Amino acid sequence: MRVRQPWSMGCEGLPVRILGVLLLTALLGACAVPASRPGLPPDTGAVVVAPLPQAEEARPPAAVPDPVPEAPATAPAALALAAQSDQARAEGNLRLAGLQLERALRIAPRDAGLWNRLAQVRLEQQEFQQAERIADRSLQLGSADRALSLSNWRIIFRAREALGDTEGARRALEEVRRLERAVG
């Protein structure tokens, strides 16, 4: 004969019953439809687009030329580092000038002018492959600035010429001449 524990009160199947009730509740809850909120249309699943407010007068837009995208403003810290770089370069310390420009570029990596300055320093350091690569990067970032593009192409020309790439130097020189005519 089994002895009943006073705290069990005949609940041998209780965990199974509780599990069944919880499962049934979860299934029924998944099928429930949320009540509509007062003041809102019932949700039909369709996307409702509100009409645009009408202007006072319907007139065609004035012909406005596309604005030339301006270069983002350079952070003051990057400008200060660039100024320190210019001073180091003027003193003949090209290594320090390059380091300062690299720090400035960590602050303002999309500043085409800083890339151009670094390319010039690398050219003066006779690191011609780096000078060409960095000038190309500056061209990619600042293609709308013709004076900056001219400076970059001049660096590329000198770097290719120093590397003995006569065909590349010829193409760069053609680009320099084209930009010189355009700039004036």
Q: What is the pLDDT of residues 67-88, one digit of tens each?
A: 445 556 789 999 999 999 999 9
The pTM (predicted TM-score) of the whole model is 0.62
- Alpha helices by DSSP H, listed for 8-127, are 14-31, 76-90, 94-107, 112-124
pLDDT attached to residue 135: 97
Q: Which residue in 78, 136, 137, 71 sits closest to 106, CA to CA?
A: 78
- Domain 76-183: which CATH class? mainly alpha
Cα–Cα distance between 167 and 179 in angstroms, integer?
19
Sign of CA dihedral 158, 114, 150, 172: positive
Using CA atoms, how far residue 36 sits from 29, 40, 48, 50, in Å, is: 16, 7, 16, 20
Task: Spell out the residues 6+ positions from residue 169 whose beta carbon is closer than 8 angstroms to its own.
Answer: 157, 160, 161
Tell me the pLDDT tens digit for each residue of 8-39. Answer: 555 566 676 776 676 666 666 665 555 555 55
Q: Which residue in 116, 115, 93 sits closest to 105, CA to CA?
A: 115
